[in-house]
Structures are given as C-alpha cells and as structure tokens.
Amino acid sequence: MLVCHCRAVNHRQIEAAALCGASCVRDIVSACGAGGVCGGCRPAIEEILSEIPTPLPQRSRVAVA
C-alpha cells in the first residue's frame, strides 16, 4: 500500500526502515523520505511504527562463579 504519495513510498519500505532501526517519523524521513514533504502521511507512518514489535534489549551474559 502506498503511504507517502509525495515520495512514492509504500508500507514495506517503511517497515524495512523500522526493522533497520528507525523508531520515529523523523527517522523514517531520514531513511526513505516518507513524511518529509507535506506531512499528510505522518499519522499513517506512526501507525505502522506502532505495529512493529520493538526488539528486546540484548542481555549480557555474566559468568556465574
């Protein structure tokens, strides 16, 4: 589905950017341009970002003596 008509960015491109670390609209604008022209798609971008699970923080392994 086309999300950003100004930059012709679809939902898969936004999801891919999010999986590569983009976590807010500003990050998406930097990654693929979506949301950076008129801003009309920003609510849709925020919705897509809210549906992508955030990765769990990496746990460090501690040796138990």
Phi, psi of 10 (to 5 degrees): -100, 175
- Predicted local distance difference test score (pLDDT) of residue 57: 58
CATH homologous superfamily of domain 2-51?
BFD-like [2Fe-2S]-binding domain (1.10.10.1100)
The DSSP call for residue 62 is -
- Predicted local distance difference test score (pLDDT) of residue 53: 81
Q: Once rounded to an integer, what is the mean pLDDT over residues 38-60?
A: 84
Buried b (16+ CB within 10 A) or exposed e, 7-21: bebebebbbebbeee
pTM: 0.80
Whether residue 50 contacts residue 24, with contact meaning beta carbons closer than 8 Å, is answered with no
What does the domain layout of the chain look like in residue ranges?
2-51
pLDDT reading at 62 higher than 90:
no
- Predicted local distance difference test score (pLDDT) of residue 56: 54
Full 3-state SS string of 24-48: CHHHHHHHHCCCCCCCCCHHHHHHH
- Predicted local distance difference test score (pLDDT) of residue 49: 96
- 11-33: per-residue pLDDT in tens? 999 999 999 999 999 999 999 99
